[in-house]
Amino acid sequence: MRATNRRAVVLLSGGLDSATVLAEARSHDLECYALTLRYGQRHELELDAARAVADDLGVKEHLVMDLDLRRIGGSALTADLDVPRGEKRPGGGTAAAIPVTYVPARNTIFLSIALGWAEVLGTGDIYIGVNAVDYSGYPDCRPEFIDAFEAMASLATRESVEGRIRVQIHTPLIGMSKAEIIARGRRLGVDYGLTRTCYDPEGDGRACGQCEACRLRRKGFEEAGLQDPIEYAKG
């Protein structure tokens, strides 16, 4: 039998949050297996960022899998809908309703694939950068969803049902503000210049500066009193 407590699967999108989570898992001295899904994001830039982050922080393996969620549609991130820019929401930085950038069942699908890979690797430790504070209101970022997924997963696989591994979905960022995430990542050595956050980058690759994701990121750096190393098209 392989040792089961030194490996972890880390979902890595190339964004700020998942880079921080990877650094967190690495700081616990885990051998990390990064999983990135090419699901039909409109921007290859995200995948380049995921590769750069995996390389920079050091992973045992980085697996990029294809699953074209454009086939099922339903999201501005994978379909030809407009991504909203600069609209004000009640309450400031966080969303009042689930926005069009929501991708149906995305975290459920990604965690399920991570679960399969983790089982093959002989581990039940899965890390995901969901966040329920400065986030976009997605239902599959909430603690109650994560708990339910963990309960389901423990009944789903051979290794967990037969008691050889315990499935645990680790969400180290779930209760942090964006500013706290950034401060934590900096201490762990994350190079945020490698990460991509923008939903709707310019033709030259620069972040738009105005979509929901850009605004949350910029506000986070501001509140953390840190300089964001990436360049924005609009100030």
Is 44 a binding residue for a second copy by CB under 8 A? The answer is no
For residues 44 and 71, the answer to whether their CB atoms sit within 8 Å is no
Binding piece for a second copy, criterion CB under 8 A, among 85-93, 140-148, 171-179, 224-232: 140-148
Contacts of residue 105, defined as CB under 8 A and 6 or more positions apart, other chains included, come to 140
Is 80 a binding residue for a second copy by CB under 8 A? The answer is no
Tokens of 94: 């966080």
Is 67 a binding residue for a second copy by CB under 8 A? The answer is yes
Q: How far is the CB of 75 from a second copy (least distance, A)?
A: 9
> From the CB of residue 166, how many other CB atoms can be counted at a distance below 10 Å?
15
Rounded alpha-carbon distances, angstroms, from residue 37 to 153, 160, 206: 20, 24, 22
Q: How far is the CB of 205 from a second copy (least distance, A)?
A: 28
Is 103 a binding residue for a second copy by CB under 8 A? The answer is yes
Is 47 a binding residue for a second copy by CB under 8 A? The answer is no
Binding marks (x or -) toward a second copy, 177..216, rule CB under 8 A?
----------------------------------------
Q: In what order do the strands lie in the sheet with 125-127?
A: 61-66, 31-38, 7-11, 125-127, 168-170
Rounded alpha-carbon distances, angstroms, from residue 122 to 31, 34, 119, 172: 12, 15, 5, 22
Q: How far is the CB of 164 from a second copy (least distance, A)?
A: 12
Is 134 a binding residue for a second copy by CB under 8 A? The answer is no
Is 109 a binding residue for a second copy by CB under 8 A? The answer is yes
Tokens 């990436």 belong to which residue? Answer: 230
Tokens of 95: 């969303």
Q: Is 22 marked as a binding-site residue?
A: yes
The smaller minimum CB distance to a second copy, of residues 120 and 189, is found at 120
**Secondary structure in 3-state letters for 3-25:** CCCCEEEEECCCCHHHHHHHHHH
Is 162 a binding residue for a second copy by CB under 8 A? The answer is yes
Residue ranges for the known binding site for Zn(2+) are 198, 208, 211, 214
Site residues (vs a second copy, CB under 8 A): 63, 65-69, 71-74, 98, 102-109, 112-113, 115-117, 119-120, 138-140, 142, 144-145, 148-149, 151-153, 155-158, 160-162
